[in-house]
Structure 1
Amino acid sequence: MDRKWLWRALLFSFFGIFSVVYLLPTFAPSSLPGWYKGYFTKKVLLGLDLAGGVHLEYAIDTDSIIESQLDNWGEDVKGKLMEAYGEKDKDNSEHVSIVTRGNRLEITFKKEINQQFLSKATADYTDARDPKLHRVDTKDLTVFYAIDNEFTKDLEEKALVRAVDTIRDRVDEFGVASPEIYRKDDMIVVELPGLDKDIQESIKRIIMRSAHLEFKLVDSESQYMKEVAKYLRTTYGMDESGIIQKAPYKGLVVVPDSYGARKGGDKNRTLYFQMDVGSRDLPVEQQQEFNRVRKVMDKLFREELPKAGLPVPQGREIGFERTVKHTDQGIPTAQKVIQSMILIRNTKVTGEYIVNAQVGYDQQGAAVVNARFNRTGGKYFGDLTGKHMGWKMAIKLDEWVESAPVIQDEIFENVQISLGVTGSQQERYREAEELVGVLRSGSLPAPLSKEMELNKGPSLGKDAIRRGTIAFIIGIILVVGFMLFYYRWSGLIAVSALVLNVTMMMAIMAAFEARLTLPGIAGIVLTLGMAVDANIIIFERIREELRLGKNPRAAIEAGYGRAFWTIMDSQITTAIAGIVLYEFGTGPIKGFAVTLIIGIITSVVTGVFFTRVVYDFVNSRKKLENLSI
């Protein structure tokens, strides 16, 4: 007697029992012992429409990416032109200046345009085989270059891909199970199901952080801040303490600072401008107050001073630090302030060279971030600190200067990042933890703006589950009733295949921690219908063979043989459609595609192979004279 069916029966029994065991953490987690949960930890997760949660859509500031790229090219071109003019070791050129405006680079010659020097300096960017810049206009002594459109598209595409990967890494740092993060045209969609509001807020906060870390020198040699102080004194009045007397800058204080290296040498001197910031109880409200005061100071440097003939010098920028006021003896007070300082804009030392970061504590017990550079970053950092001992280095994170310590030694690999002096110890520790997470995951290529936020409560999900369950039960009852009524004993075999089908399908979803969505439930119902359809095709083929006078065993053999490729053709074409939906669909469409593809696999396995094993088992027990079908 052919006993091949026995091994197949044992295999299906194993998969059936294992699937049930694997699904217990999903359906009965509270009643399981601890050792069981240690071995079987995965479960079927619920999607946003069933578990509730938040749906976020972000846009990336591609304009800043283009401007940053043009700034880098502009500095390179300027360096080559200065070298051609014999100004290699000078900070500023007497022959040329370069400014970025939007997507254009403006190169202005102060005496006459030197075409030979210009062509040589821009050759790397204007090569006809791979152009990055196009010369579009010349007006007086200014030559205008525009960035290539194809290069811009490629830059934006790479930025979106990197942003999606970075956001995914940041969310993974929180241990969120299977978040949905994907692109939708030029938008980035983040779906976070089943999280409480506090965790949602934390994740939203770290997603928005560009985590663009830079180490920039405070320019103690610039006379710009002195010129600004003179302008403020003349325009708004200033008392002997350096406090402005008139609105809109009333209360702004000019603060002189003197510092240097412990080893001796000349003192460096600079001026800061400080404005008081009101204290607020909630961290969100406190940050809003900082932003409000910063807008006032930002308007001074961005709008008023350029109109007065005092723009920020080329190659410099204004940095803003959230700190507290100190007494004349250097003792910190409770009064929060924003302090503006002038920084040297360009730096090679950025967070992209950091390979490790962890939370630590400084000598005062405040939370800090201890970071380590790779070899390249360590070399750049060593060069910067070695040449500028006694200078202040601003540690700038995104749009804020976190601290500006004095460089006392040449530092290569290890750096300590202080997170300002505002906020409670707990808030600063939490901020340090978040910064460690975003530094490990990498910085965003450009700032994000939140375009949409949609919160879904769990009550909506419970209602959807209830309705989906009712629809599922009604569908099962109708299908089972029809199969038992029309195909009798063979219908019972098909029903047992359906039960195994659903069990295996859910176990596979649990193994991959796939999220079950409302469209996913629809996919399961559709899969069951397709599985029954496969059984109907087989049963009808067997009936045809019986009408031709074949015995039950021969009819079963021929029926399965004739029906197999018909079933496979239909399932393969449906699977192709499911793969296309998964590849190009988003959100709920993907949920439907996942259950559909898994269901097709389990339908073929149970509807074709499992039912055949049952027939073979019955045939092995006794010779069938009649077949109930």
Structure 2
Amino acid sequence: MNQNPTWKYLLLVAVCVIGMVYALPNLYPSNPALQISLTNTDQRFVGTEIETITKSLNDAGIDIKKVENKDNKLMVHFADTDAQFAAVDPVKASLGDQYAVALNLAPTTPSWLSGAGAKPMYLGLDLRGGVHFLMEVDMEAALNKGVERYKEEIRGYLVDEKLKYLGVIREADDSLTIKFKDQAALDAASKKLTRQYQNQLSIEQVDATKGASLRAAITEDNLSNIKKLALQQNITTLRNRVNEIGVAEPIIQQQGLERIVVQLPGVQDPSEAKKILGATATLEFRMVDEENNAFDAQANKRTPIGSVLYEERGGSPILLKRQVMLTGDFITDASATFDQNNQPAVSITLDGKGARMFERATGANVQKLMGVVFIESKTDVSRDADGNIVKKTVNKQEVINVARIQEQLSSNFQITGLDSPKEAHDLALLLRAGALAAPVYIVEERTVGPSLGADNIEAGFNSVIYGLIAVLIFMLIYYRVFGIVANLALSLNLILIVAVLSLLQATLTLPGIAGIVLTVGMAVDANVLIYERIKEEIRAGMSPQNAIHSGYEKAFSTITDANITTFIAAIVLYGMGTGPIKGFAITLAIGILSSMFTAIFGTRVIVNMIYGNRRVEKLNIG
């Protein structure tokens, strides 16, 4: 009775070894570092960058530990955060705008551990320091964009289907009124439009006394879908932009139906991040109206039919055709570069559809002037005297480039006329990352300093250690030999939690540490139930061997029920919670599963190894 088969020993030893290997990287502190990457991801480092970086930092009197190249990214290690922050400007100045410089933490894991795929856990914003943004999506703008899109689609569809109509008008309630010459034209269009926009638009005939007209309104289901897609596209775009500026381990996730949480660990100056995250930028390519005088149109405040009046960067007016040749939606890649005159430029790559459209448009207009319109929209948020949020959207449209089309253009070309390499870099970043589906504005902003993060790490670490020591002492005094077994299982449980979190590359936050501390206290519950059951069986006159067997067998169902209910609560917290709540739920769930293994299987193997297969007169269980 109470004997272990060989496979149980092997399994326990294997779990212990694997757990220790993957938990070990967390014992090696990370170095403050600068992460340097190329803004054009298709390029590679030329080999002279390390010398340039080292020289610039030596000239600035900043000591560095080492510089290494990992996955086409340079990591410059420093002894402390003061040197890390001081190094940002010299490095940026020495390398130029072709490189992105970001604050990071560089792991110091030994090569034999990293070779086995063992990595430390990521540290959250509250432990590492950085900036936190709560951003709200302007759903009114998303709806407005959807209505305008349907307006243009309906016009194009009616033309393609050769259905005659008088006009498509947007009403104050965001519905569309489609006017026809007579009832016959309306009936023909109604059937096709209803079939084309089924489940998207509700199409019905308006009062006949108002003429032959159809009313098209976005359905409730489609309206919800538009808002959902706008939120999802904005999350994707924001994640692309954060990746472009080189922030390591960012957290970008949905909160509620209209808000997005953006956490950027290691970033201490939020101004640059705010500029990139909140900008809605795109391009439009239009032909120049060379038949009419832009100065006359500006002076008379009368724009010719089919044209739009813009301003160039110098303030000069310019007339462009109303029809758009191409928009930035078809851009797949953009990188900052220099033209043949060594002036800043952006190299553009189009997708297949965009390339075909641009080929047709430019091929038909060789030797004519084309203008590039830069469109940027930002939403500023302030509060009035009553504390209410006031949103102000600022739209900026300017012609950044006018050039004569010398030949038919296709999928690759350059945009020139930019003021500086910095502007070229930012424009390329925004175009490469994609446009926001709707403007976003920041409703909450917090900055956590690195020193506070270090204090949080120390406080969290101490709470785990003190809690663990208190439980170990109690179990040792109260249950003696069996207490030692429970303490071994508890220590293994803590190692397994850290190992699993490291394997999953989870982000550890203060609530996550709280989950670990809670698990440390709860993990011995199973052993307390088992040991108290063993003591009851001994008091009832059962032999030590039978008491051990009965204690583990009869307490199992109670332990399972208690842990399953807690595990269900953790799942609900993860599914319905956000950010910190999810971190707490993950560590709690992992702790429950690992404690079930260590407290039931692990302690049983050790107890059987101590007391099994021999005559025992008395158990040293307190």
TM class by smaller structure: 0.7 to 0.9
Contact 1:180 1:192 in 2 (8 A): yes
1:288 matched to which residue of 2?
none
Is the counterpart of residue 117 in structure 1 residue 185 in structure 2? yes
Cα distance change, pair 412–372 in 1 and its aligned pair in 2 (3 A): same
How far did 1:41 drift? 5.9
Q: 2:620 maps to which residue? A: 628
Aligned equivalent of 2:199, options 130, 134, 149: 130
2:588 counterpart SS class: helix
State the alpha-carbon separation in 1 of the partners of residues 581 and 494 from structure 2: 20
Select the residue among 289, 306, 329 that pairs with 1:352: 329
Residue 251 of structure 2 is aligned to residue 180 of structure 1: yes
> Alpha carbons of 1:204 and 1:522: their partners in 2 closer, same or farther (altered >3 Å)?
same
The 3 A distance-change label for structure 1 pair 190 and 628 is same
Equivalent residue for 1:19? Answer: 19
Task: Tell me which residue corresponds to 1:373.
Answer: 350
Q: 1:536: Cα distance to partner?
A: 0.8
| Structure 1 residue 493, shift from structure 2 partner | 0.8
2:548 is aligned with 1:571: no
Q: Give the deviation of 1:512 after TM superposition.
A: 1.7
- State the Cα distance separating 1:480 from its structure 2 match: 2.0
Matched residue of 2:286: which SS? strand
Q: 1:415 — aligned with what? A: 413
Relative to structure 1, the CA distance from residue 560 to residue 81 in structure 2 (aligned partners, 3 Å threshold; closer, same or farther) is closer
Given the two structures, how large is their TM-score scaled by the length of structure 1?
0.73
Alpha-carbon displacement from aligned partner over 1:411-465 (angstroms, at most 9, x marks no partner): 22222233x3313x3x245325524xx52x4332122222222222234334434
TM-aligned CA distance change 1:550 to 1:79, over 3 Å: closer
Matched with 1:543 is: 535
Report the counterpart of residue 224 of structure 2 in structure 1: 153
Shift of 1:12: 2.9
- What's the C-alpha RMSD, in Å, of the aligned pairs? 3.4
Find the aligned partners of 2:235 and 2:507 in 1 and give their Cα distance. Answer: 20
Say if 2:344 and 2:419, in contact at 8 Å, map to a contact too.
no
Structure 1 SS opposite 2:524: helix
Q: Deviations over 1:133-154 (max 9, x none)?
A: 5566789679684632412222
Alpha-carbon shift at residue 502 of structure 1 (Å): 0.8
Judge conservation of contact 1:527–1:596 (CA < 8 Å) in 2. yes
CA contact 1:77–1:121 (8 Å) conserved in 2: no
Q: Give secondary structure in 1 for the equivalent of 2:263.
A: strand
Of 508-517 and 529-538, deviating more is: 508-517
Residue pair 1:106, 1:142 contacting (<8 A) in 2 also: no
Answer whether contact 1:106 1:143 (CA < 8 A) is retained. no
SS of match in other structure, 1:189 = strand
2:366 alignment counterpart: 389
1:48 corresponds to 2:48: no
Structure 2 unaligned regions, length at least 5: 32-107, 377-396
> Residue 57 of structure 2 aligns with which residue?
none
TM-score with structure 2 length normalisation? 0.74
Q: Which amino acid aligns with 2:554?
A: R
Please say if residues 396 and 402 of structure 1, whose CA atoms lie closer than 8 Å, have aligned partners that are also in contact: yes
Using a 3 Å threshold, how does the CA distance of structure 1 residues 485 and 77 change in structure 2: closer, same or farther? closer
Q: Which residue number corresponds to residue 512 of structure 1? A: 504
User: Quick one: distance in 1 between partners of 2:208 and 2:309?
Assistant: 31
Alignment match, 2:111: 35
Larger Rg, first or second structure (1 or 2): 1
Is 1:434 matched with 2:429?
yes
Contact 2:130 2:449 in 1 (8 A): yes
Equivalent in the alignment of 1:405: 403
The residue matched to 1:29 in structure 2 has which SS? coil
Letter in 2 for 1:554: N
Q: CA deviation at 1:230?
A: 3.9
- Could you tell me which of 493, 508, 511 is aligned with 1:501? 493
Q: Which residue of 1 aligns with 2:290?
A: 220
Matched, 1:72 2:152: no
Deviations 1:26-74 (A, max 9, x none): 2223796753464256212222222222111222233333333333333
Q: Distance in 2 between matches of 1:449 and 1:313?
A: 36
CA distance in 1, matches of 2:124, 2:452: 12
Identity of aligned residues (%): 35
Paired residues of 1:359 and 1:368 also in contact (CA < 8 A)? yes
Distance, in Å, in 1 between the alignment partners of 2:237 and 2:506 is: 22
Partner of 1:472: 464
CA spacing shift, 1:9–1:208, aligned 2, 3 Å? same
* Aligned counterparts of 1:458 and 1:355: Cα–Cα separation in 2: 37
- Aligned-partner Cα distance in 2 for 1:173–1:64: 26
Q: What amino acid is the match of 2:358? A: F
- CA spacing shift, 1:621–1:152, aligned 2, 3 Å: same
- Change in Cα spacing, 1:453 to 1:81, as seen in structure 2 (3 Å) is same
Native 8 Å contact 2:344 2:418 kept in 1: no
CA 1:146 to 1:472, structure 2 compared with 1: closer, same or farther past 3 Å? same
* CA distances 1:50-102 after superposition (whole Å, capped 9, x unpaired): 22221112222333333333333333444566689999xxxxxxx84444466
Structure 2 distance, partners of 1:83, 1:517, is 56
Structure 1 residue matching 2:326: 3-state secondary structure: coil
C-alpha contact (below 8 Å) 1:50/1:461 kept by paired residues? yes
